[in-house]
Structure 1
C-alpha cells in the first residue's frame, strides 16, 4: 500500500477527523494533526502533505482581526488550491476554501444547527456525495458563502443553498459535518453549550437525533470519503 501524508488543521479539540480517521488510515494516510492554536500556520508548507483537511471551528473567516491565524490559513490555502493539491474542507474549512478561491463568506439568514438531509444537485449523482442521499447529516454553522468561480455546487438545504462544492476531483468543500461520531457527540454539546443556550436550542433534542441518525451517517460518510479518495489526482 502506498503511504501518504495527511495534515489535518484542527481549531478545537473535539472537531477532529471523527469517523473519517479510520478509513483514512486504512487508505494508507499517515495523519498529523496541526492544532491551529499551537502552530504557526504561516510556516506550514502548503504543498507538503498529500492531503490537507481543514476542520471546523467556532470562528468566522471574517474574524481575521480578532484571530490572525485566519489570514495564515487563507494564505496557505491560496497556494495549495492554486496548485490543485488534494484538499478537503469541513464547515469552517469549506468557508476558508471558498474565501481562498475568491468567494464572499458572510453570516447566513439564521444558524443552521441540527440533523437533516441534503438536497443533492444533479451534478452530485456521479460525485461522492451520492452516498449521502436521504441520509441525515449534522449541520452546525451560522455563516455561508457564495459559490466560488469555477466550482460545481453539489448540495443545498432550504436554509443554506451552498452546502457543498467541488472543483475537479481534488477540491471538496462541505459546509455540513459528515465526520461526526455518535459516541463523541456529547463533546459537541458541551463544547458549544453557550451557543446552544443563546440560540434557544435544546441539547436534549440534538442528543436524541444523534442517537437516531449518527450511525447511518458514519457508514454513509465512510462510503463518500472512500469514493472521493479513490478519484484523487496526486
Structure 2
C-alpha cells in the first residue's frame, strides 16, 4: 500500500509550485519588457504617414525638392524684376524684391531645419504656403465671376482688356486654368511640408522617450 504524504512533503511541493509560477511570471515580464524596449528603440522612418506621391517619395525628400525649385524660381523672378526695373526704368519693380527676399529667408530656414531635423524651422515656409494657397483659392472665384459678369475693372489686372472680348475672355480662362493647376501643386507642397514637420516632430518625441527609457 502507498504511504500517505506527510504535511511536510505537501508544503514542500506547494512551495516548489509557487516558486515555479513566480519564475515563469518573471520570465514573461522580462520577455515583455525586452519586446517593448526593442519596439521603442526602433523608429519606423518608412511609415505610410511619412510618404507622399502615393507612397513613391518620402516627405523629407519631397520637401527638399520643393525648397530647391521654390528657391530657384524666386531667384529667377528676383533677377527678372531687377533687370526689368533697370532696362525699362520702372523703380516700382524693385518693390517686388521685398516679398521675394522674405521667401528666400523662409526657404533658408527650411533648409537649415531639414539638415538639423528641427521642425520649428519649417514654420516660416508653412506660413507662406498657407498664405499662398489661400490667395490662389480667393483669386480663382474672383476671376471666374469677373469673366462671367464681364467686369473690366477687375479683369484689367489679369488680362489685356484692349483686345477683343473673345480674346481677353479666352486669356482669362487660360489664366484661370493655370491658377487651378497652381492651386493643386501648392496644396500638395503644403501637405508634403506639413508631413515633414510631423516627421521631425515624431523623431524628436522618439528621442525624448528613448532618453527617458535609457535613464530609467
Q: Same fold (TM over 0.5)?
A: no
- TM (normalized to structure 1)? 0.20
Structure whose residues are more often strand by fraction: 1
- TM (normalized to structure 2)? 0.21
- Greater RCO structure (CA 8 Å; 6+ sep): 2
